[in-house]
Amino acid sequence: MAARKSGLGRGLDALIPQEHPESGYAEISIDTIRPNPDQPRVEFDQEALDALASSIAAVGLLQPIVVRPDGDGYVLVAGERRLRASKQTGMARIPAVIRGESESRSNVTEALIENLQREDLSVLEEAAAYNQLLEEYGMTHGEVGHLVGKSRSAVSNTVRLLALPGPIQAMLVAGQLTAGHARALLGTEDEAYAVHIAERAVAEGWTVRRVEEAIRLRSTQAVGSGGAVGTVRPAAIIELEERLQDRLGTKVKIDYRGKGGKIMIKYTSPEDLERIYRYLFDPSG
């Protein structure tokens, strides 16, 4: 199977010229990119890379890497995981933000925000751009929301779509599922079951509410067969779980056991973990 060269739709694709190698957006040859000598990480989780490669094979690379010109090629500034996963899929060219020598970080940030204000971006392209502002430019969900005129929860819920399995992302890009369907599918950590429900929803024309009911039924069955048999979670715990998900922009599970329990926070990459860590120590964002 030939890998798609890019996941960018006509919204960002129109902004990626092919012959502007010094700055701005461009598709560049992967062979011209050299690793960042200041990259502190030398080991990458292969399972996580495989999952990202699967997503790229399904819908393309939604979030461009960041490079800077260096001699006859480029040096990677941000996006090591994306670059490695793209190589796994066999991509020859990759979409990149090229940061010129005199170009400040704020210039690139402003360009990303301007792209987000276009009306023809897909929801996954929007999610990827939000994620880039969060991970690579250190913004909080609240700051991104303020800049693009959306609520913090709207930004958080959109970013969470990037955690969906590749097949579901492909259905979303193809217009077979709506963002509402996709958000409902985030309600289960069983990826195989989520894909199964997504396929049935497409084949049988399910509403968002029906998808939500299927996910809720699965969760109820899991509780009934697990270690906490018969434990009913109070509405206040469920509401708190949802508020934490909105705040942190990721899946949060509260394992309620009466007087105590556990809070489990899902992250999709080391960069995402760092983002959550920063947020927990800066809750005003």
* Residues assigned a catalytic role: 80
Tokens of 158: 């959109």
Q: Any long-range contacts for 80-83 (C-beta under 8 Å, 24+ apart)? A: 80/35, 80/36, 80/39, 80/41, 80/44, 81/44, 81/48, 81/49, 81/52, 81/269, 81/270, 81/271, 82/52, 82/56, 83/30, 83/33
DSSP state of 36: P
Q: Is 97 helix (H, G, I), strand (E, B) or coil?
A: strand
| Calpha distance 133→141 (Å, rounded) | 9
**Cα dihedral: 263, 142, 12, 28 (round 10):** -70
Of 67, 60, 79, the C-alpha closest to 32 is 67
- The pair of three-digit structure tokens given for residue 176, joined into one six-digit string: 């077979």
The amino acid occupying position 271 is E
* Closest to 269 in 3D by CA, of 7, 63, 28: 63
Residue owning tokens 């309600």: 187
Rounded CA-CA distance 115/57 in Å is 24
3-state secondary structure of 156: helix
